[in-house]
Amino acid sequence: MINGINIGIVVVLVGIYGLLTKRNIIKMIMSLCIMNSGVILFFISIGYVFGGQAAIFEDSSSLMVDPLPQAVMLTAIVIGLGVTALALALAIKIYDEYKTLDTNKLLEK
């Protein structure tokens, strides 16, 4: 049962585990990225047809994958990039002010 859909779900769960347990800001951002990647893998695998090609019409006989998930996930990847960049910018700002990235220590300050 190793296919994109199952692995996507597992990757999302790994991300959720990291988000819930890690107390370092950089690791939290990484967990967020992992969650995002898992969903992207899951979504693309849904539209994948085994042995299919990209949906470019040259001859209509060949097998094609669903192009919509790919187009949609391209948007999601770009959004994920923007959010990660912003999160890292905030992390730099927090480190400059408090000299720590540990959320337990940040809570005390």
Partner 1 sequence: MGHAPILIVVIPLLAAFLTHLTKYVKLKRGAEIVAAIGMVVPLALLLSLGRGVIAGGSVQYNLGGWPPPVGISLTIDGLSFFFALMVLGIGLLIVLYSLGIYIFARRYYSLLLIALSGILGLVLTRDIFNMYVFFEVLAVASYVLVAYKHKPRAVKASFKYLIMTEAAWVLFLLAIAILYGLTGSLNMDSIALQIDKIYQANPQVIYLVFSLMMVSFGIKCGMFPLHTWIPEVHSQAPTPVSSLLSGLILKVGLYAMLRIFFLFFGTTLLLQSAGQLVLYLGVITLVLGACLALVQDELKKLLAYSSISQIGFVLVGIGLGTELGLKGGLFHIFNHALIKAALFFCAGIIISQIGFWRISRMKGIWRQMPGVTFSFCILSLAIIGVPPFNGFVSKLFILQATLAQKNYLVIVFLFMGILLTAAYYFRVIQTFFSPEEFQHKPDFVPQPVGPFEHLSTYVVAVLCLLVGLFPDVVIKFIQPAIKVLLP
Residue 106 sits in the site that holds partner 1 (CB under 8 A): yes
Least separation in angstroms between residue 35's CB and partner 1 is: 5
Q: Are 35 and 16 in contact (CB under 8 A)?
A: yes
How far apart are CB 89 and partner 1 at their closest, in Å?
9
Using rule CB under 8 A, residue 12 touches partner 1: yes
Q: Tell whether residue 49 is a contact of partner 1 (CB under 8 A).
A: no
* Contact pick of 16, 30, 55, 65 for partner 1 (by CB under 8 A): 16
CB of 43 to partner 1, least distance (A): 4
Euclidean distance between CA atoms 101 and 109, whole angstroms: 12
Q: Cα–Cα distance between 72 and 101 in angstroms, integer?
A: 34
Tokens at 97, concatenated: 């002010």
Helix (H) or strand (E) holding 64: none
Q: Which backbone phi and psi does 55 adopt, to 5 degrees?
A: -80, 70
Cα–Cα distance for residue pair 20/26, rounded to 1 Å: 13
List of residues contacting partner 1 (CB under 8 A): 12, 15-16, 19, 25, 28, 32, 35-36, 39, 42-43, 46, 68-69, 72, 75-76, 79, 82-83, 86-87, 90-91, 93-94, 97-98, 106
